[in-house]
Structure 1
Amino acid sequence: MGQDARKGSDSSNRAKRGASNEFSGKNHDVTRQFAWEIAAINVHLQEIRYFWAKALGVSGPQWMILMALADLDQGEGVAVKVVSKMLHVDPSFVTTQSKMLEKKGFMRRKTSEDDARIVQMSLTDKTYKLFAGLASEQEALNNFIFAEFSDRELSEFTDKLAALKNRIEKASLKLTVGI
């Protein structure tokens, strides 16, 4: 019912704006709706992240750091800078949070042998065991979320989202420098 009311009011708002605005067309409406859908998806993903974080006794951002390490680490550890870039946060934030995670036994921090300025982070066996304990619940949730997609469709959709993310990132940079 809420959506029907929104659509009705949206249609009447479009009619009031008239055709003189070049952005009042269908493409602008779809673009705006897309942005709202992405914003809502982000809110729900954040709720899910906080649920998993709570299961481990960490904060949502700490959960994201652990997940980034799980995805990025190839056995050599991952530099703070790499994790901060992936999460779009300042490296000092990752440093502070990773020290807290290290104290809780979730990760190891080790100075790089090649460059003493670089700290390599890696997950502990404790963390991998905790992740393994959550794996079946996460898989069931992912199966529910992505039930409408075949593996191929999900891969193609993810590729399109990645390309869109890159274009939006470039557009953001253009706005920053004044196009």
Structure 2
Amino acid sequence: MPPRRTTLPTRSRIPNETDPPAAAGRRPRDRELVRTLVWNILSINSHMEDIRYFWAGVMRISGPQWLIVMAVHDLDRGNGVSVREVSAKLHVDPSFVTTQTKQLEKDGFMRRKPSSEDARVVLLSLSDKTYKGLANLSTQQEGVEDFVFSDLSEPELVRFTETLTMLRLRLEKASLRLAAEV
């Protein structure tokens, strides 16, 4: 086992305009602009969490349970979806999904059954009660989505989604790199 690092990592120096570009054809990033972007993303996350808790409250489940329900809804193609797939989509530990889906099953929102191919794998699917609840919310959800994204054309929404996906993947890699350094 390698020895634990006892010093904090050094803070990177902020480049100035006399520094050479980071890569050919690229100028150094405007750090203030990057900080503004990060704060906007954090603010968006906070507002999305508020909305998530609102929808969860209407269904009488918790915010994390709402995310699990939505992940199963998005991933299930009619045969159920594994706990592992749901935990990967939500970036949470499978044991958390297992615990929460047991409660959702007890409350009538979820079905859990062993896979016919591998009994160790639990497949999740939504109950009729959940589908009915989601159907009742769909008009309201579509109204919120229309309001939020009304100023983006289809090509702009595609480009924005691609950009966010790229940022998500890079942040995931950065997180892994930082964890490896500690």
Q: TM-score w.r.t. structure 2 length?
A: 0.83
Please point out which of 14, 37, 46 is paired with 1:22.
Answer: 14
Q: How does 1:4-153 map to 2 (within 5 A)?
A: 22-23=14-15, 27-153=30-156
Count of matched residue positions in the alignment of Structure 1 and Structure 2:
159
Task: Kindly indicate whether residue 166 of structure 2 is the aligned counterpart of residue 174 of structure 1.
Answer: no
Structure 1 unmatched runs, 5+: 1-20
Distance 1:176 1:128, change over 3 A: same
Structure 2 unmatched runs, 5+: 1-12, 18-28
Query: One-letter code of the match for 1:35?
Result: V
> For residues 24 and 49 of structure 1, what CA distance do their matches in structure 2 show?
41
> For residues 23 and 88 of structure 1, what CA distance do their matches in structure 2 show?
33
Query: One-letter code of the match for 2:35?
Result: R
- Aligned-residue CA RMSD (Å): 1.5
1:3 maps to which residue? none
Once the two structures are aligned, what percentage of the paired residues are identical?
52
SS of the counterpart of 1:113?
coil
Distance 1:24 1:68, change over 3 A: farther
> For residues 62 and 160 of structure 2, what CA distance do their matches in structure 1 show?
30
SS of the counterpart of 1:134?
helix
Query: One-letter code of the match for 2:181?
Result: G
Between 1 and 2, higher relative CO (CA 8 Å, sep ≥ 6) is seen in 2
More helix by share: 1
Post-superposition, which runs of at least 4 consecutive aligned residues in structure 1 deviate over 2 A? Answer: 21-26
